[in-house]
Amino acid sequence: MEKIELKVVGLSYSQTQTGAYALILKESKGNRRLPIIIGGAEAQAIAIPLEKMTPSRPLTHDLFKSFLDSFDIALKEVVIYNLVEGIFFAKVICSQNGNTLEIDARSSDAVAIALRCEKPIYTHDFILGSAGIVIDEDEEKADAASEEGTSAITEVPADSAASDSVSVADLEDQLNAALQKEEYEKASKIRDEINRRRKK
């Protein structure tokens, strides 16, 4: 079955489920997008490599990558291979000593690991056909124009970080504090606000 490569476009707050996020994947050669609803912790795990953040201590997916590296296991790719009653199924495909290993995983975990290992993410046409959303050319161009410098989670924080009365230096202090406390979702929002201010 032919595989279609996907790229992570980003994360957005789910409009249908409180406290949930939509992981948005886009086919690399086409205009279909695949939204996958995930939880807050899963969104945080994906946002960290997207935002190129370095946690103060390794998180679960960082630990998994360390295991792969330590035992000379090469991650080859991730495949979202099935969709049953709205639930996506994925597998992590690795190789070691010439043997190929396929490990079942939740799609959010598989994506988080692929991003850390900088490996491709694939799916099949029937999944994009049943769960994908077609984006028209105008929207595609608008997205491409705004993609540079966009954040993993697209919403300005609704706390003091969003206030223009808070200086960039204070925001950087808040960012460092959030990273120390391992509040990566908050850190991502603060970083977005810093980037927005610097573009002005």
pLDDT at 15: 66
Could you tell me the maximum CA-CA distance found in the chain, to the nearest angstrom? 58
Helix (H, G, I), strand (E, B) or coil at 88: strand
Question: Given the DSSP bridges, would you call strands 74-84 and 121-124 parallel, antiparallel or unpaired?
Answer: parallel
Tokens of 183: 């509040």
C-alpha dihedral, 65 to 70 to 75 to 80, nearest 10°: -40
Q: Within 13 Å of residue 6, how many CA atoms lie on the same side as its CB?
A: 31
The secondary structure of residue 55, as a DSSP letter, is: -
The secondary structure of residue 160, as a DSSP letter, is: G
What domains are defined for the chain? Answer: 3-155 (3.10.690.10), 156-200 (no CATH)
pLDDT at 144: 53
One pLDDT digit (tens) per residue for the chain, 200 residues: 899 999 999 898 876 677 789 899 999 999 999 999 999 999 999 999 998 888 889 999 999 999 999 999 999 999 999 999 889 999 999 999 999 999 999 999 999 999 999 999 999 999 999 999 887 655 555 555 444 444 555 443 334 444 567 888 888 888 778 777 766 667 767 877 887 787 76
Contact 81, 93 (CB under 8 A): no
Q: What CA–CA distance (Å, rounded) separates 95 from 100?
A: 4
Contact 115, 77 (CB under 8 A): no
First-to-last alpha carbon distance for the chain, in angstroms, is 48
